[in-house]
Amino acid sequence: MHFQYYLIFLASFGLCVLLCGAEFPYLKQSVKADGSLSFLVVGDWGRKGLYNQSDVAFQMGEIGEKLDIDYVISTGDNFYDDGLKGVNDPAFVDSFTNIYTAPSLQKKWYNVLGNHDYRGDVEAQLSPLLREKDERWFCLRSYVLDAEIVEFFFIDTTPFVNDYFTHPKDHTYDWKGVLPRDKYLKDLLKDLDLALSRSTAKWKMVIGHHTIKSAGHHGIIKELAEQLTPILQEHNVDFYINGHDHCLERIGSIDSNLEFLTSGGGSKAWRGDVKWWNPEELKFYYDGQGFVSVALNQLEAEFVYYDVFGNVLHKFKVSKDSYLASQ
């Protein structure tokens, strides 16, 4: 990892960054004056406005203004079908800059990579040159965002999935920076475990593209369920938030407080593509386009799911003291 490169890149954001050895880069994000935060979560969106991407973006702008959001989180698959061809690929402007134009969305966008992003030039999405094209853009493979009352652990999940290596079909994946894979994954898991063990934040949220639990098309990604879930549970992570399945979803856990939230409705949705899931865990499922808003403080977090028309589909609150959810 080239730390000088990251220092130059991150300093241009005006953010405080700590880099220690080979560990995850740390970013600092301020809270509002009253100690609260609000943000939007959207995934699987980059289609040059098609498949209702522009409509979802409009509603994000409306809700973003009402909530006075501090930033946006993207759960990956930022550019379809095959990522970016390079830093000058017009898809960046056509699918991002020219779509999310609302004043409320002119905030930092914290992104992770999805499997479709890996089908293009991964380094392009990580490049500081994109920052020159649109100052909102921020993407690294894995990193930590420290927002005082909450820490977000952004994780590069695509290299975990065996099929992309053993059965790529007619797709070509950009594995530069990932190989040798075993070492990459071992280091990632070690660094995640270390970062979580050090966290003193009131809330802990892990952001990745791929599903761990889902009643949607991709269901359980076995590699993540086996390797990530024990770490999340050991360190009392509150939420794992993902995209990948083109739906909106909330799944709880019978054996812990960990919840799995899917926000992958940024553009193309998969109507009717839903599998049975234990009703004790499945709290909400919607097979259409939309996004999620989050508002939280030291004591409480509120999640609201919206459809492409801005209608509220589902909402719930979690109290940090009692961890009782009302819905």
Give how far the C-alpha of residue 267 lies from the chain's centroid of Cα atoms, to the nearest Å.
15
Task: Give the active site residue among 2, 116, 217, 218.
Answer: 218
Residues 286-296 as b or e (16 or more Cβ within 10 Å = b): bbbbbbbbbbb
Q: Is 235 annotated as a binding residue?
A: no
314 is catalytic: no
How far apart, in whole angstroms, are the C-alpha atoms of residue 165 and residue 163?
Answer: 5
Distance from C-alpha of 296 to C-alpha of 197, rounded to nearest angstrom = 22
Segment holding 109, helix H or strand E = strand 108-111
Q: Which pair of structure tokens corresponds to residue 117?
A: 């992003």
User: Dihedrals φ, ψ of 138, to 5°?
Assistant: -145, 125
In the β-sheet with 37-42, what is the strand arrangement from edge to edge? 137-139, 108-111, 71-74, 37-42, 290-296, 300-307, 312-319, 325-326
CB-side neighbour CA atoms (13 Å) of 170: 1
DSSP conformation class of 217: S
Q: Using the CB atoms, write b or e for 224-234: b if 16+ within 10 Å.
A: beebbbebbee
Q: Tell me: is residue 115 an annotated ligand-binding position.
A: yes
Tokens of 275: 């599998």
- 244 annotated ligand-binding residue: yes
Known binding residue 238? Answer is: no
Active site residues: 218
* Residues placed in the known binding site: 44, 77, 80, 115, 209, 244, 246
* Residues placed in the known binding site for Fe cation: 44, 77, 80, 115, 209, 244, 246
